[in-house]
Chain A
Amino acid sequence: MLNDTGTEEIVSGDVITHRVGMNVASKFPQSPRIRRLAQRSRELAISGKRRLGSAEMPLGDHACWIHIGPFPELDQLPSRANRYEATGESWGRDYAFLVDHFPIDLHEDERIVGEIHWEMHMVRQYVWPEEVLAVGRRAHALGASGVSSGHTCPDLAIGLSQGWGGILERIKQSREKYLRLDNRPKASYLHGLQMICESVIRFIQRHAEKALELAQAATDPWQKRTYERVADCCAHIALNAPRTYYEGVQWIHFAVLLDRVVGHGNGYGRLDLYLIDLYRKSKAAGELPDEEAREYLSEMFLKLRGHFFCLGGRDAELKDATNEMSFVVLEAYDLIGDYNNLGVMWHPDINREFYDYACDVLARHGESIPVLVNYDLMREAQMRSGIPEEDAWKVAYSGCQWFCIPGKEFCDQDVNSIDLLEPMKRTIAAGIAQGTDDFESFYAIFEQELTTTARALCAWKNAQYERLGDLWPEMFTSMNSHGPIEHGIDMVGPRGVDYQYTSVNILGIPNVADSFHAIRRLVFEEHRYTLADVKAATETNWQGREPMRQRFLNQDKFGNDLDDVDALLTRITETLSDVLGSMVNLRGQPFRASLFHFQGHLNPAAIGATPDGRLADQYLAHGINPQVGRNNTGLLATANSIAKIDQRKFQGGTMQVELQPKFFDGKDDIWTYVRGFSETFFRKGGIQINLNIMDLNTLRDAMDHPEKPEYQNIIVRVTGYASRFICLSREYQQEFVGRVNYEGF
């Protein structure tokens, strides 16, 4: 029988084991209740009900929504039943209709409730007019792409302090103002926001009603009391700001859940700062045992899946912002050992005990949670873009490799990209045509070609930005942002929020650096081959030219701490920063390069062979990490190579590490290795570490035998996000197990 906190019958020293990774021992025992909730979550993942991507190409099991079939009232959706309009008002009406038709799911054992089953992308059309698409096709032909969709971060502190009722009141006032002033477009947008906000309130109220019904029918006293508490909580937070820590977590759960209805990769900000006041209040009132504080968050993590929250960092005075909640959040993950996307923002003054615990959690579980990021560099990167100091400190690690000022920034993170191999190919062709015979002239052509691609991207993004606020506004996120309600402009619209730089992921930087280095040596210095040879060889996948390929392959490569080739890579990144930084979007703000690409490297066939000796069917380098198999001087050498890049000029660039568990055999205090490595890397200029501690050889077996119990809970950080290994597509699995598996430093 469970007691009131549901923590009776604890099996002490619960050990989760799997052969592939570390032998994980959670610091905290799981209550039977949490164990059942975790089991349900696992079943949803393994049965494909959490699948992101298609059945043919699953990207993982980190979807927030749970598949239960198509939306039954699709035909009645206002934009389908009546008339589609590209306006915020029409968008908001659809959103409200969808949420009003969500079933209310309450499950036994749950104290944090609410789930969703459909996203706006599935029901409402998002189609660009032909004249915009034509601009996109031109960009695509030059190696640039990207359709805007979310990938920003709200400031949940707004709703936590005002409640949905407070937000609704502000929307109504603003709408009345613009009606009075006869600004119909703004009033129409605000009407859309009002419909959304009211549907949110109804959704939460419906949970309260359902919980009351279930409480009346429940016979088990603990379950009955739990339903009553859920009912009480939801009845209050539907309109009001949360009063307790429990209500705060439930409030955040609904806010993230209903944000995910839009269906995109938003981050959600600094969870320890959001919750600290409520935590202290509930603690002071003596109503919050430690295990309860952990379990609420564990439940939320199990239900929300694809969320990014972060911890640590600094406060407005640039003092360490770590607080008691920072620990509780990590403990909540430690308790379940299931994936999520927590990030710990390190800086030299961070609370030692907290950072030690973060490294301990990461080492023990070995599943790249938390991600470790360098707060000071992120803050400086924001300031370098022009964000004033009074906002820059608020920076939050918000997604794969990116960071943003919650509620004040829409930078189109992670959706835009430049395939750097395209301008490289054109550079080689132009070099042949112009008879280029020295590397500097060759590089000058590359700068021009990159500029051509960047301009095409700029035109494509601006064509989207002209209409984005009407076609696909981020209305839910805008409710918890600074500006949209008062301005009557969506956060994606012109200056809807203060910061609207356009972020651009770059594919293949290490491949281009390695290629250029080989060309510099073999074409321009040794004159062993011509550019025409290089073009012919790569276009025919090196057919009949194996000795030539070997020569290109066996030049020095990025990632070995070799100054020559590393300097070339760094030069390319600087060129990217200069070229993109000189382009201005419709909001008057520059483009920013991000040294990362979340999946482009998995599609090598579209790119063909490259002059670094890579064959057409080999995966490209992942983000800024060396091409697999080319860094053979160890982890520290690779870390040094990556640390040579001036990360203040970019929107992130992750170092991905797969370390073999046996490295830690016979070693005490294994977390000290994680701490020592990460802190040294950060002090040298690194910005992010994703660390999986896995035996990739053993993991190969999981590809063919996903049914084995030991593989059910293997979590890996794939690129920017974490997922269950067996829920990934074969391509992703193949790429993952093919990575360099470091045996040590």
Chain B
Amino acid sequence: MAELKVRVIEIIRGTTHDGPGVRTTLFLKGCPLRCAWCQNPEGLNSEPEVWWESRRCIRCLACLDACPTNALTDGHAGLLRDRRTCTRCGACVAACPSRAMSFNSRDWPIEALVKEALKDRDYYQTFGGGVTVSGGEPLNQVNGVVELFRRLHEAGVHTALDTCGLAPASAFAAVLPHTDHVLFDIKLLDSGLHQTHTGQPNGTILGSLSLVADHIRNVASGMKLWIRTPLIPGVTATRENIHAIGLFIRNDLSDVVERWEFCTFNSACRSKYEKMGRLWSYADKPPMRQGEVEAVREAALSAGIDAGIVVVSGLTMT
């Protein structure tokens, strides 16, 4: 049997927003949704991709010489890669002296990933933190996540799953016994709108949420559940949507939801789209104004949500 590996796009240490305390967040590659506002576009495709960072590039063109399929050209706007002829062989990555050309993910053997995730263990203990897997959709690599969480639990480390919810019930059944905390995204309650903006309806997602809720009710009363809603102006951050999600949480989940977090949109990730050579319709969208965020909070409270569970994170403008 091949060694179990986990495909990771990024590891961010010392995070304070992805669950309780100070944590290490592992971003895993591959996602079933295609949200137009996606903040981690390198996490969408589950295959490794090469990307190019103009800031690092010294235009030595060693990559062009190295490419066996001539998939690269030196264009006016920078290096262009033909996705049809590129075989992702990595010759350009190896040839690049400045790490401008790189794979946007790395396959971590589980052993090494556990070791990496444990590097800040002393800080997890101090701050009541642990390890969060995010993405992408981590449950796309459910076997890796389960094994990772199992080993972290053996080491006494708190585990959190940050999920979009679109995964088979079997994946949740496998991972929940090793999970201490779930961060669950509810983007749009209307399934039609959900389909329009993320490419998928939300039936399975809401089903997964009930699985998590039932798991807390029946099996793991100590598990914490935080709902997260990205605030996308004109899409999710509407009075109707927030009110609807609010009613849903109040009526169906108030016994299990500890926090409802609004994550305000920002376009700081636009450089990632540039590195991938992709256009992004949200690239120039300004951060939300405090007034808009306030209106969202009021919509939530008007649904009967306890103000104590509402948290706003991210950048806003006055």
A→B interface (CB under 8 Å) = 546-548, 550-551, 553-554, 561, 633-637, 640, 666-667, 673, 676-677, 679-680, 683-684, 744-745
Contact = CB atoms under 8 A, between A and B. Distances in A.
Given A634-B14, A640-B119, A745 B22 contact: yes
B58 interface: yes
A166 to B, nearest CB: 48
Nearest to A676: B126
Interface string B8-22: 000111111000001
A635 B127 CA distance: 15
Contacts of B98: 547, 550, 553-554
B120 interface: yes
A744 B126 contact: no
Contact of B16 (A548, A680, A683, A744): A744
Nearest to B127: A676
Given A550-B58, A636-B123, A676-B123, 11 more contacts: A550-B97, A550-B98, A551-B97, A553-B98, A554-B98, A636-B13, A640-B119, A676-B126, A683-B122, A745-B15, A745-B16
Nearest to B60: A547
A561 B126 contact: no
B313 interface: yes
Contacts of B71: none
Given A640-B120, A684-B122, A745 B58 contact: no
A743 to B, nearest CB: 10
Contacts of A553: 98
A740 to B, nearest CB: 13
Contact of A554 (B12, B13, B99): B99
Contacts of A636: 13-14, 22, 119-120, 123
A679 B126 contact: yes
A633 B13 contact: yes
B283 interface: no
Contact of A744 (B15, B58, B122, B127): B15
B253 interface: no
What's the dominant secondary structure at chain B's contact region? mixed
Contacts of A673: 127
B311 to A, nearest CB: 8
Contacts of A676: 22, 123, 126-127
B122 A680 contact: yes
A544 to B, nearest CB: 12
13 contacts: A546-B58, A547-B58, A550-B98, A553-B98, A561-B119, A634-B12, A634-B13, A635-B14, A636-B123, A666-B313, A684-B122, A745-B15, A745-B16
Contacts of B12: 634
A634 B123 CA distance: 13
The 7 closest A-B pairs by CB, nearest first: A745-B14, A550-B98, A550-B97, A547-B97, A676-B126, A636-B14, A551-B97
A666 B97 CA distance: 41
Contacts of A744: 14-16
Interface of B: 11-16, 22, 58, 60, 62, 97-99, 119-120, 122-123, 125-127, 312-313
B60 A546 contact: yes
Contacts of B99: 550, 554
A680 to B, nearest CB: 5
B50 to A, nearest CB: 16
A683 B122 CA distance: 9
A96 B16 CA distance: 59
Contacts of A550: 58, 60, 97-99
Contacts of A677: 123, 126
A637 B119 contact: yes
Contacts of B97: 547-548, 550-551, 554
A553 B120 CA distance: 26
A680 B60 contact: no
Contacts of A640: 119-120
B294 to A, nearest CB: 15
- Which one of B11, B12, B98, B312 has the greatest number of beta carbons of chain A within 10 Å? B98
Nearest to B116: A561
A551 B11 CA distance: 23
A679 to B, nearest CB: 7
Nearest to B100: A550
A577 B123 CA distance: 29
Contacts of A667: 16
A252 B71 CA distance: 75
B126 A680 contact: yes
A745 B62 contact: no
Contacts of B16: 667, 744-745
Contacts of A547: 58, 60, 62, 97-98
Contacts of A546: 58, 60
A634 B11 CA distance: 10
Nearest to A546: B58
A550 B62 CA distance: 12
Nearest to B24: A636
Nearest to A678: B126
Contacts of B123: 636, 676-677, 680, 745
The residue among B22, B58, B126 with the most chain A CB atoms within 10 A of its own CB is B126
Contacts of B126: 676-677, 679-680
A684 B119 CA distance: 12
A351 to B, nearest CB: 19
Contacts of B125: 680
A547 B126 CA distance: 44
A423 to B, nearest CB: 28
Given A554-B99, A676-B123, A637 B62 contact: no
A463 to B, nearest CB: 47
Contacts of A635: 14
A636 B13 CA distance: 7
A680 B123 CA distance: 6
A744 B123 CA distance: 13
Contacts of B62: 547
A518 to B, nearest CB: 12
A521 to B, nearest CB: 13
A640 B121 CA distance: 11
A73 to B, nearest CB: 59
Pick the most buried of A550, A553, A667: most chain B CB atoms within 10 A of its CB.
A550
A547 to B, nearest CB: 4
A423 B137 CA distance: 51
B142 to A, nearest CB: 27
Nearest to A684: B122
Nearest to B122: A680
A745 B13 CA distance: 7
A333 to B, nearest CB: 26
A131 to B, nearest CB: 51
A680 B125 CA distance: 9
Contacts of B119: 561, 636-637, 640
Contacts of B122: 680, 683-684
A673 B123 CA distance: 10
A554 B98 CA distance: 6
A695 to B, nearest CB: 14
B250 to A, nearest CB: 24
A550 B102 CA distance: 14
A634 B313 CA distance: 20
B18 to A, nearest CB: 11
Max chain B C-beta neighbours (<10 A), residue from A636, A677, A684: A636
A446 B122 CA distance: 35
Contacts of A633: 11, 13
Contacts of A634: 12-14
A358 B122 CA distance: 22
B21 to A, nearest CB: 9
A728 to B, nearest CB: 30
Contacts of B120: 636, 640
Contacts of A551: 97
A637 B13 contact: yes
B231 to A, nearest CB: 15
A217 B180 CA distance: 76
A674 B141 CA distance: 36
Contacts of B22: 636, 676, 745
